[in-house]
Every structure is written in C-alpha cells, then in structure tokens.
Amino acid sequence: MTKILSALWLAGCALLSLGGIAAFIYLFMLDLNIFYLILSPVIFAVYQFPAVLVFRMWRGWKRRHSPAAAEGEQKSSEE
C-alpha cells in the first residue's frame, strides 16, 4: 500500500466513527427513555466497532510495513 492508500484507510476509520455516532444519535437519542439511557454505552460501542476494526487492520499493516520492522527482519535473517 502506498501512503495515499494508508491515509484513505485512516480517513475511512474516521468516517465510520462519525457514522456510528450519527446513527447512535438518530436511532436512540431522539426517542430517549431510561432503557436506552442505561444501555447507551453498550449501544455506542456496537456502533463504533466497524471503525475500530478498520483502524486495527490499518495499524497492523502499518507495523508490518514500517522501516523498523524491515530492519528487524533483516537482523533475524542474518543470525
């Protein structure tokens, strides 16, 4: 992946996060009752899960392709 594609993945994470917040507000906060108030942290976490998943995928790719990881692979192959 290039730097541009990496930035697009990160932007996608931010958009999914904002979308989760918007969906949470639209579906639950407009018709708030005590049940939704008690469960709101769980519901909010469910709507943030896609953003977290994409961010973890991006971070894992970033770690595998960082210069420090490449140096570590070269050192282990030399030993």
Domain membership of residue 48 as a residue range: 3-78
The total number of structural domains that make up the chain: 1
70/48: higher pLDDT: 48
pLDDT tens profile 4-18: 877 888 888 888 888
Helix H or strand E segment including 27: none
- 9 vs 25: CA distance, rounded Å: 24
- 8 vs 13: CA distance, rounded Å: 9
5/70: higher pLDDT: 5
* pTM across the whole model: 0.60
